[in-house]
């Protein structure tokens, strides 16, 4: 299934590719940087992409790290997966963090993250006196095994 998403190129995104799937079976779209950045160790930075989008109501876009950058260079998304809500209309920026001990250079046009279009289900909470019983009950962190 394919969902249409409107995209607006910003002036500093000229000549950059829009997010795209690297293979037929890819779940995430690669997104590139619209700026040159040097991320120092433990530095967080919102990297510009040079575009804004209109996500259809009932959907979100999730932002995830690229596995190669994470494995080889320690570059991650600190709030992974990040969420871009359907009512946001500003520039898409990718929040990255350098978890390595060395500075990491990002050049304009480098692939920096993946975007995943996903349906949204909203909860409606209602108060009850008691919750149903389960085998786990109130046992918390680490209670289901190693």
pLDDT at 130 over 70: yes
Tokens 């095994």, residue located: 145
Question: Predicted confidence band at 44 (pLDDT cuts at 50, 70, 90)?
Answer: very high
Tokens 């990255």, residue located: 96
Q: Is residue 51 within 8 Å of residue 18, measured between CB atoms?
A: yes
Q: What is the pLDDT of residue 4?
A: 96
Question: Predicted confidence band at 145 (pLDDT cuts at 50, 70, 90)?
Answer: confident
Dihedral, CA of residue 135, residue 138, residue 120 and residue 83, to nearest 10: -130
Domains of the chain, CATH where assigned: 6-119 (2.70.40.10)
pLDDT at 136 over 90: no
CA pair distance 99, 123, nearest whole angstrom:
34
Give 12-38 pLDDT, tens digit per residue. Answer: 999 999 999 999 999 999 999 999 999
* Mean predicted confidence (pLDDT) in 121-128: 96
Q: What is the pLDDT of residue 8?
A: 98
* Mean predicted confidence (pLDDT) in 32-48: 98
Give 73-122 pLDDT, tens digit per residue. Answer: 999 999 989 999 999 999 999 999 999 999 999 999 999 999 999 999 99
Q: What is the pLDDT of residue 146?
A: 64
Q: Can you list the positions of beta strands (E) in 11-74? A: 20-21, 29-32, 37-39, 44-54, 59-65
């Amino acid at each position: 299934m394919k969902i249409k998403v409107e995209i607006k190129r910003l002036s500093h995104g000229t000549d950059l590719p829009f997010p795209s799937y690297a293979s037929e079976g890819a779940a995430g779209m690669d997104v590139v940087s619209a700026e040159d950045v040097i991320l120092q160790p433990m530095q967080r930075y919102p990297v510009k992409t040079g575009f804004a989008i209109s996500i259809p109501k009932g959907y979100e876009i999730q932002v995830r790290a690229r596995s190669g950058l994470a494995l080889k260079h320690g570059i991650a998304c600190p709030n992974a997966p990040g969420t871009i809500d359907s009512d946001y209309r500003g520039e898409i920026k990718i929040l990255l963090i350098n978890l390595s001990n060395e500075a990491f250079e990002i050049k304009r046009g480098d692939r920096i993250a993946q975007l995943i279009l996903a349906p949204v289900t909203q909860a409606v909470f209602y108060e009850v006196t008691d919750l149903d019983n389960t085998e786990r009950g109130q046992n918390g962190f680490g209670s289901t095994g190693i």
